[in-house]
Every structure is written in C-alpha cells, then in structure tokens.
C-alpha cells in the first residue's frame, strides 16, 4: 500500500517536471469543489466540499462515516485555508481545522474533538485545471474520551485530498 502511494507520488512529481507549465497563477475565486480527504486522527476517509469565496481564502468541510461492526468510525471537520503564495498551477496555503470524532474499538466507543494547524499546497496538472490535488503537513491534537493525543502529520496528495472544481 505504501509502496504504491510512493510510486504514484513520484509519477506525479515527474509529470510536473516534464510537462511545460503555463505561466499563470491559479485563481480559484468563487469556485466550489467536491472530492475526498482523509486527515482525521481516526483513519476514516471522507467526502469533502471546498469553496473559495475569494482568490485567497477557502472554506472546506469533510464528513467521514464507517459503520463496520465493532469498529465504527465517524468524523466531521471544518477547515479554513488562507493562500499565502501563488505559483504556476499551484497555491500554497496555511490553515486551521476543527472537528468531531467518534471511534469504536472492542465494544467501546470513544468520542471527542480534533484541532489542527497546517500548511499545504494544492496543485493542478496542465490540461486538468479543474482537478486539484492537495497535500498538507502540520500539528494536531485529538481529544477522545480515552485520552488526549498530540501528533504531527504529513500527508501525500493521495491521502490529503483530491477535489474536482465546478
């Protein structure tokens, strides 16, 4: 699984280097996107919606649900991203997020919240200007009824997210 993720990340990086990029910054003003993200402290992929009300601010929400017997998980996260630097076909941003988590293990359900601060980038391949791949790294604190967890994280484009913009 990890080897496949590394292969895909290297392929994407090589594609970005080999293909000529158009010399324009990516303006996402008034764009709405739908896709997926997987950034909860409890590993639960979610459906994500992201909206840019202006060129330098994004609001996103992610909802993840898994009702597996004796191992159910739930996550809901709201995030705010501020674009700090625009590059050709790429936006670098910083942000913060807050969400609710619930995780069942061995017949016990632990619920709580998660807070995160991060920096990241969203990039667009030439010819696929409506499809954004994002990756993020930062710090988070997860407080569930079974304890508090502080963590650093760094997510690849395949884990952090992929959004199609309308």
Tens digits of residue pLDDT in 30-80: 999 999 988 787 778 899 999 999 989 999 999 999 988 888 889 999 999
Q: Is the pLDDT of residue 143 over 50?
A: yes
List pLDDT tens digits, range 144-155. 888 898 999 888
**What's the whole-model pTM score?**
0.77
pLDDT of 2 reads 55
- Residue 17 pLDDT class (50, 70, 90 cuts): very low
φ/ψ (deg, to 5) at 124: -130, 125
Residue with the bigger pLDDT between 21 and 95: it is 95
Find all residues with CB under 8 Å of 117, minimum gap 6, and list them: 94, 95, 96, 138, 139, 140
Radius of gyration of the chain (CA): 17
pLDDT of 61 reads 96
Closest by CA position to 160, among listed 123, 133, 128: 133
Closest by CA position to 166, among listed 114, 128, 130: 130
pLDDT of 16 reads 46
Contact of 133 with 122, CB cutoff 8 Å: yes
- In the block, tokens 């992201």 appear at 50
Alpha helices in 35-163 (DSSP H): 157-160
The architecture of the domain spanning 2-165 is Beta Barrel (2.40)
The share of the chain scoring above pLDDT 70, in percent, equals: 84
């Amino acid at each position: 699984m990890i080897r496949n993720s590394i292969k895909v990340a290297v392929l994407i990086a090589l594609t970005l280097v080999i293909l000529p990029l158009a010399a324009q910054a990516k303006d996402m003003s008034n764009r709405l996107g739908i896709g997926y993200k997987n950034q909860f402290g409890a590993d639960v992929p979610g459906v994500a919606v992201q909206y840019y009300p202006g060129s330098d601010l994004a609001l996103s929400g992610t909802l993840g649900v898994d009702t597996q017997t004796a191992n159910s998980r739930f996550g809901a996260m709201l995030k705010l991203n501020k674009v700090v630097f625009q590059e050709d076909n790429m936006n670098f941003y910083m942000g913060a997020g807050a969400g609710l988590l619930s995780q069942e293990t061995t017949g016990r359900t632990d619920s709580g919240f998660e807070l995160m601060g991060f920096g990241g980038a969203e990039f667009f391949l030439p010819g696929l200007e409506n499809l954004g791949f994002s990756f993020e790294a930062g710090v988070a604190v997860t407080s569930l009824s079974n304890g508090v967890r502080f963590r650093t994280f760094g997510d690849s484009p395949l884990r952090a997210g992929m959004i199609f913009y309308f």
